[in-house]
Structure 1
Amino acid sequence: MNKPSIMKKRVLTYLIPALVGVFITTTSCGDSKQAQKGQEQQPQTLPVITIPQQTVTGYSSYPASIEGIVNSGVRAKIQGYISNVLVDEGEKVRKGQVLFKLETQSLSQDANAAKANVNAAQVEVDKLRPLVEKKIISNVQLETAKAQLQQAQSAYESIAANIGYGTVRSPVDGYVGAIPYREGTLVGPSDSTPLTTVSDIEKVYAFFSMNESEYLDFIQNTEGASLQEKVDNFPQVTLELANGKEYDQKGKIQTVTGQVDPTTGTVSFRAIFDNPNQLITNGNSGTLKIPIVYSDVAVVPQNSTFEQQGKIITYKVSSENKTVTSEITTKAVVGNLYIVDSGLQAGDRIIAKGANKVRAGMTIQPREVPFDSIAKPVKQLFQ
């Protein structure tokens, strides 16, 4: 065999394996890229909910102060030292029951002296009367003596009345409030703080206010031709107590001033609540809640939306399972639900969770989940 033939065989021996290796590598890379491309094109599976139409109750809330329907301050009508406190705070009392005794010893001495003056004046009248009848003296002297008797009687009666005021009685049926003064304290009519307050709390008033805009909305949305008719048609209200728990009695708005206070810019309301167990009392505070019913409205869970530049955004899912950006406007927020005004309607499908991680135009594999699993049952919360 000549040399050129030997050289050709050697070149082919090394070249063929190399070409085979290149072919295998190229084929392998192509298959890998093709598989990766197939994986990228696989639609992402995302949870989807269908927007329902519901009737939802929300609440507007207002700070309220509580007072008994009768709330009577008990004050001393005379100046004197308290000698006895005959009741305790929180005690139920009847009208006319003695609450306090004031020291009246000095008044009793004055009364004795005044009574002596009355007796002396009476003796003088009795002495002059027969003399006038016998025309020994003129009638003027008798009339003067009668006037002096009347003055003496008035002075005595005034002192006796003051002695009576030393016994301080309850002006109404009710429950005794705080008692800031105790035995030995000097009290009088000019004291700024009463001896106590007796409150009738079988029923209680809740006082609250609305600003002018809220008042107008509330009145205009209530049926009735006159203000009184509207008051009669006001819905029942609830009271949230200071501990965050709801009072178990419903209330009724009784009065509304209908006038805007120029100092505060508000309109005052008064609601009344039964208080059979005396759970709440004069001086308590709470939050009064007025129900607002939204009938047959589309609702969307807040966690199915996100905010972007002050706008509320969600993603609808089209019939082709593509995501479409949807800006919504809302009427109100109740619990964790938006009451939809525009942008969505009942029957629309939206991305249930993770809307802020989705982009418009994506093709997805929708996985329908129950609405309540995202929104939870609507809890009646105040706005």
Structure 2
Amino acid sequence: MKKNSILTLFVVLILASCGKKEEQQMPAPTAAPFPVQTITKQDAVVYQEYTANLEGQQNVEIRPKVTGFIQKIYVDEGQVVRKGQLLFKLETQTLNQDASAAKAMVQAAQVEVDRLKPLVDRKIISNVQLETAKAKLAQAKSAYGSIASNIGFGTIVSPVNGVIGSLPFREGSLVNSTSEMPLTTVSDTKMIRAYFSMNEKQLLFFNKTFKGATTAEKLKSVPEVSLLLVDNSEYDQKGKVVTMNGLVNPTTGTTQFRAEFKNPEGLLRSGNSGIIRLPIIQKDVVVVPQNAVFEVQGKQMIFVVGQGNKVQSKIITTNGTSDLNFIVTDGLSEGDVIVVEGASKLKNDTEIIPQQIDKTNSETVAPTDKEIVKTNAAAAKK
């Protein structure tokens, strides 16, 4: 019995000795390289976006001045037309008949004047009769001129250069000056106007950001704006904010602005929509790559490299984005070193090999072999 106890104790001692030997032989974990960036304050551009409705510089409704049937339509929807180009021809047969009757009245009045004039010259009749005949002649000429003008209104031409809109009426339709819908709309789209609105809070920020005693002075200090199209592409022409309504709409609580964009290729049309991007420059702010930020329970966090190249997570507060960066208003200071990639692989007190990123070209500056060996050796000692 005593022999068995001694044997058991001997086996336990041997196993414990082997375990310690294996434990001593296990290699210490080595530090891994991670890209890092040193925080420096810089200027950042933040874009404020507003939904915009696009209209041509001129949207002219084409309406008939006289009542008549549409005899001929010379254009089609979407067609580009020039100023003075023929658009519609209205049937004016009734007006032509009225014009013939009015012209006959002019001739009759002229004959009466011609008959009375020699009689007045010979003092056979009084001058009053001649003046009365002249007045009737003038009245007849006026009536004829009015009808002749109306006949001319039956030929409708474009008042501006532009693009033809919809054509709600067809040949044979009866139209008049009181018709609810116009014959068409001609839009001059060489210059496109983008209308957008700001609410009271946005307007207050706008007025604080862009200095000036008058609206004109404020608008002069506003930088060029860009336009995002419905496919999320950016329009290749920059625009300028040219007007701002001086009053706030009491119903909507908004103020309307107008920006203008050149449209040399006719890409934009009246009725389009888009998004105005207004750049706001924020000076001396802290920016960090969006890839460096992660969320925990709704809070934005980032890993900061501390002593011994060990990382610690910190809560940060951001205020918008600038390109692919967050603008940080609290939680980081100039000179802090942050991990910009691979946050999901880290936890507090993890030791890393920092690889500094060059901000100018976004390339990492790799550590030398000596630095890696030195860091790993330090980790092995610990």
Calculate the TM-score normalised by the size of structure 1. 0.83
Q: Which has the larger radius of gyration?
A: 1
1:108 CA displacement: 0.6
Partner residue, 2:367: none
Partner residue, 1:253: 241
For the pair 1:363 / 2:349, whether they are aligned, the reply is: yes
**Residue 364 of structure 1 aligns to a residue in which SS?**
coil
Of 70-79 and 218-227, more deviation after overlay is shown by: 218-227
Could you list the per-position Cα deviations for residues 111-137 of structure 1 after superposition, in whole angstroms to 9, with x for gaps in the alignment? Answer: 111111111122222222223333333
Aligned residue-pair number: 361
1:188 CA displacement: 1.5
For the pair 1:47 / 2:34, whether they are aligned, the reply is: yes
Cα separation, partners in 2 of 1:372 and 1:168, compared to 1, 3 Å:
farther
Check conservation: 1:45, 1:364, Cα contact below 8 A: no
Cα separation, partners in 2 of 1:70 and 1:138, compared to 1, 3 Å:
same
Could you list the per-position Cα deviations for residues 225-264 of structure 1 after superposition, in whole angstroms to 9, with x for gaps in the alignment? Answer: 4321221221011111222211111111111123211122
Partner residue, 2:120: 132
For the pair 1:111 / 2:99, whether they are aligned, the reply is: yes
Identity score, percent: 47
For the pair 1:161 / 2:149, whether they are aligned, the reply is: yes
Match of 1:24 among 7, 11, 14: 14
**Residue 264 of structure 2 aligns to a residue in which SS?**
coil
Partner residue, 1:170: 158
1:35 CA displacement: 5.5
**Residue 111 of structure 2 aligns to a residue in which SS?**
helix
1: CA distance between counterparts of 2:285 and 2:205?
20
**Residue 351 of structure 2 aligns to a residue in which SS?**
strand
Q: Matches of residues 364-379 of structure 1 in structure 2 within 5 Å?
A: 364-369=350-355, 371=357
1:278 CA displacement: 1.7
2: CA distance between counterparts of 1:155 and 1:283?
43
| Superposed CA RMSD | 2.9
Unaligned runs of 5+ in 1: 1-10, 378-383
Check conservation: 2:196, 2:256, Cα contact below 8 A: yes
Q: Matches of residues 344-363 of structure 1 in structure 2 within 5 Å?
A: 344-353=332-341, 355=343, 362-363=348-349
2: CA distance between counterparts of 1:178 and 1:261?
31
Check conservation: 1:46, 1:365, Cα contact below 8 A: no
1: CA distance between counterparts of 2:346 and 2:72?
78
Q: Matches of residues 1-383 of structure 1 in structure 2 within 5 Å?
A: 14-29=4-19, 42=29, 45=32, 47=34, 49-53=36-40, 54-308=42-296, 310-353=298-341, 355=343, 362-369=348-355, 371=357
1: CA distance between counterparts of 2:183 and 2:153?
13
Could you list the per-position Cα deviations for residues 158-209 of structure 1 after superposition, in whole angstroms to 9, with x for gaps in the alignment? Answer: 1111110000011122332332322112221112222122222222211111
Could you list the per-position Cα deviations for residues 61-85 of structure 1 after superposition, in whole angstroms to 9, with x for gaps in the alignment? Answer: 1111222222211111111111111
2: CA distance between counterparts of 1:311 and 1:19?
56
2: CA distance between counterparts of 1:376 and 1:263?
49
Check conservation: 2:309, 2:353, Cα contact below 8 A: no
Cα separation, partners in 2 of 1:111 and 1:372, compared to 1, 3 Å:
farther
2: CA distance between counterparts of 1:234 and 1:246?
19
Amino acid at match of 1:279: L
Check conservation: 2:289, 2:325, Cα contact below 8 A: yes
1:369 CA displacement: 4.0
**Residue 300 of structure 1 aligns to a residue in which SS?**
strand
Partner residue, 1:381: none
1: CA distance between counterparts of 2:86 and 2:94?
21
1:323 CA displacement: 4.0
